[in-house]
A and B are shown apart, each in its own frame.
Chain A
Amino acid sequence: MYGFTGKILRVNLTNQSTSTLNTADYEEWVGGHGIATAVFFDLMQDKLVSAFDPGNTLVLMSGLFAGTLVPGASRVEMVGIQSQSYPIEWFGRSSIGGHFPAMLKFAGFDGIVIEGAAENPTWIDIIDGNVEFKDAAGMWGLDTEETQRVIFSQVCGEINTRKQPNVKADNMTRWPCALVIGPAGENLSRIASVQHSAGPAFGQGGFGGVWGSKKLKAISVFGTGSVAVADPGKLLQETMRFRKKYGADFDNPTVSDWQEYITSHFGGHPGRGGAIFDNQRRAHGCYGCHMNCRPKTSIGIGTGAICKKGRFYQKFELAKRGRVTEISGKATKLCDRLGINAYVIDVDINYLNTLRQKGVLGPGKEIDTDLDFDQLGEAEFIGDYLHKIAHRKGIGAILAEGVARAAAKWGRLEEDLASGTLPLLPWGYPIHYDPRTEVYWGYASLVSSRDINCHDFNAISYWIPNLDVAAGKTPVVSAAQASEIIAEKCRPYNDPLMIDFGDDNMYSIHMARTTAWLLHYSLFWKQSCGLCDNAFADFINPYAPDNKGLTPDGEIAFFRAVTGKKMSFENSMEIGRKIFTLNRAIWALQGRHRDMEKFADYIYDIPSEGIVMVPGRSPSYFMPVRENGQWDYKNVVPRNLNRDRVEEWKSIFYELEGWDVNTGNPLKNTLEAMGLQSVINVLQKNDKL
């Protein structure tokens, strides 16, 4: 089976036993998320267990392309019952890059199924197919970096002299790759991450807490094995070709502001905004990456941190100190070391600060805390705040449950969601892109189980217009050109109106297609094959002829070179739909119903004001809009969504996906057409069909 080693490791922490599954038995599910979800569906008989129940099965699965040289494709998925989502712990997913996804294959396994729970702290040491359960008592309490150092020293021997383990070959010059949790995970925080090296983390989903509940401190992999591909020569040739034609030219770059953000573009480059406090840093990349977006600094602070994770404390520091220093980097570093999902922190702090300003929160107040908000922006504040969460001290005990559960416990959730004081996406996730403007982002999150975090349409709907148009610059493509590119590339719909963000189009079949395309594409190409969200889909590319990116030609060429199989893009999208349907079946078994899929009230009742992109100007949100037959980038705010029309949109979307418009569950004939008889049986047995 090309692209894979052929074996999925199955570990039972309860009785410390191992076995294997054949990857080929799950070949129809592609890899990564597809296979992980199918394995979860088969092995997890009771899908109603809680996240912290020993019966919760987690499945790690590398993407098909991991470790194959396909650019921007070193990703591994983790699925299971997540602890973060609110009010229900839905089946969910998270993923990381780095070197682990490829090293897992080199170590002899395509994935790892984690079942049961250990009695005592345990770590798993995997070297070239050999699996050992090891005592992690001495690591329990260590932060993620300390834990990795201990693992490296144990696996590698004398780490300071860089001697490598004498396995199979003595020419090894590489380090083991480890996934670890920190104190936050040990203390079952629902915002705890699983960390890898310095930077990559399974952040969203609260899987760090799930590992903690299993007393699983770490998994280390090291291997000298090979990944076979169908056509090595073609893979080399295609990788070189697409990199040269569509990748950034690092010696003569086209440096656009929008290319510096995590927003799906193959021609991206290292962001200038990462770790700006250290001018001695390198651009650092995941295995086989052509973009190398992560900074690696001379002081370790800020290493690996990109996008919001690397910047979440900057605005607080800027407000307090008038400049950005290494304090912001230390904030991110501390999140990583304690094993806390950095993405949620700024929304949480903003919320608490608002409550403080309202006189609700503070020493002796209704919500009693000794957090010193006068120090917000200083190192002392964020240090105190994060340690409180990681060790569940003071207000940290409830904040470790995630802000939605905290607000619910304080009796404030309904009120604060209605006013927008607490701006959450569906399922308790902090706001990312605003559903009132980037409606597809909200819709995709609504019909899934987390902040969807797929940026495919984000460059053209947000970054390009808002960095260029708002600043009076000419965007790389006009709105009309963008719509033509989308129509050409977004098979099978080929619908230019998929990026019409005018008021009426928000509730149309066109926006249902945008949402479906994003989900199906991401589930097949990104979460199952393992292509990085930062590079794919590639619609607009300033290095390419006519500024047209490599999607879908690049993906198809890579798939063929790796697997030797001809795959039409339309077929890949249909498989993506099938993977999504399987997810949907699991949520149905967990009790999902159409009536639950509603945005927070502020999305319907409080208009979005937009964002100040140019200092001194009014807030705005420019997006491609077709009006009177003409395309243009227009300011779409203020805008809120209409409740009834969102319900109409849901019916359109459910019908497009082949779901029951009354319940939101997949229809029997949809499942039959996909060949999912076993899923039909389970759903029928549970009265969900």
Chain B
Amino acid sequence: MTKRQNPKRNRAFAIEQIVPEAEGYLIVDPKKCTGCGSCMLACSLAHEGKVNPAFSRIQIISDPLGYFPTDIQMAVCKQCLYPQCLIVCPTEALHIDKEHMNVRGIDREKCIGCQKCMHACPFVPSRIFFDVNQKKAFKCDLCKAAPYRKKKSGQACVEICPVNAIKFSAKTPFPLGENGYTKNLRGDGWKQFGLPTD
């Protein structure tokens, strides 16, 4: 069977051609991140109405005994230009939310809990998470469905971060890899604390 004759591959090919770029991204600075986890607490509170980092759409992986700067990893969904999670979804639960910055969203009603999206995500850890009780996948929606957040614009993680280590960008990061999403957000103010800005 050729590539064109494989229906699944055909769908993937088609999606790659038609998926519009997202109009919102989270840019992070792991060297500025303090590992306080405020973003995770706020994210779960905003989306789920309870505090639980396991339900956070952003994950801060912090080795408590590690050394700067490799001790912290900021795992945010990159709203990929070619979203593998969307390609493998058998029910179209993963979709482009045209009403909300073309974010790669999950329709929980359609999600059957197959976890294919989690495994397709090219990043470690996966930027798609799984609610084992509800058997549903969930991911960053740039606070589209954050019912417990009274403010309807912006993102909870960006707003709560005490040191502004997470920034919203409407522009597609360049390059598309890790470097495009990781920026130096440390300015003169940071320098005043005697902390590195290079």
Contact = CB atoms under 8 A, between A and B. Distances in A.
Interface of A: 67-69, 71, 98-99, 102, 106, 145, 148-149, 162, 168-175, 177, 197-198, 224-229, 232-233, 235-237, 239-240, 243, 247-253, 255, 269-270, 272, 276, 279-292, 296-300, 303
Given A232-B49, A236-B45, A247 B162 contact: yes
A493 B190 CA distance: 40
A135 B4 CA distance: 60
4 smallest A-B Cβ distances: which pairs? A285-B36, A197-B64, A171-B129, A226-B52
B194 to A, nearest CB: 4
A536 B89 CA distance: 49
A251 B194 contact: no
User: Which of B54, B131, B149, B162 is packed against the most chain A CB atoms within 10 Å?
Assistant: B162
Of B31, B44, B71, B151, most buried by chain A (CB within 10 Å of CB) is: B71
B41 interface: yes
B52 A281 contact: no
6 contacts: A169-B129, A169-B131, A226-B44, A233-B149, A251-B187, A279-B194
A587 to B, nearest CB: 36
B55 interface: yes
Contacts of A232: 45-46, 49-50, 148
Given A99-B64, A171-B54, A296-B68, A270 B33 contact: no
B196 interface: yes
Most chain A CB inside 10 Å of its own CB: which residue of B36, B63, B129: B36
B173 interface: no
A250 B51 contact: no
Contact of A292 (B36, B42, B148): B36
A138 to B, nearest CB: 19
A542 to B, nearest CB: 14
A4 B125 CA distance: 29
Interface in B134-184: 148-151, 156, 159-160, 162-164
Given A226-B52, A247-B162, 10 more contacts: A67-B41, A171-B129, A173-B75, A227-B51, A251-B187, A253-B189, A280-B196, A282-B32, A287-B37, A291-B162
B160 A239 contact: yes
Contact of A282 (B37, B53, B195): B195
A151 B151 CA distance: 41
A296 B126 CA distance: 27
From B44, B71, B194, residue with most partner A Cβ within 10 Å: B194
A231 to B, nearest CB: 9
Contact of B53 (A98, A174, A240, A291): A174
Nearest to A251: B189
Contacts of B63: 175
Contacts of B148: 232-233, 236
B79 interface: no
A250 B164 contact: yes
Contacts of B32: 282
Contact of B67 (A67, A239, A285, A297): A297
A98 B54 CA distance: 18
A37 B63 CA distance: 33
Nearest to B133: A168
A69 B42 contact: yes
A69 B51 contact: yes
Contacts of A175: 62-64
Contact of A280 (B65, B69, B129, B151): B69
The listed residue with most A CB atoms (<10 A of its CB), out of B49, B67, B148, B195, is: B67
A270 B54 CA distance: 28
Given A69-B42, A296-B68, A279 B196 contact: yes
Contact of B50 (A177, A227, A243, A289): A227
B1 to A, nearest CB: 33
Contacts of B55: 226
A233 B147 CA distance: 8
A251 B130 CA distance: 35
Nearest to B196: A280
Contacts of A229: 45, 50-51
Contacts of B149: 233, 236
A226 B35 contact: no
Contact of B42 (A106, A236, A249, A252): A236
Contact of B38 (A250, A282, A290): A290
Given A250-B164, A300-B67, A283 B34 contact: yes
B190 to A, nearest CB: 7
A143 B147 CA distance: 46
A292 B194 contact: no
A177 B192 CA distance: 32
Nearest to B61: A173
A536 to B, nearest CB: 16
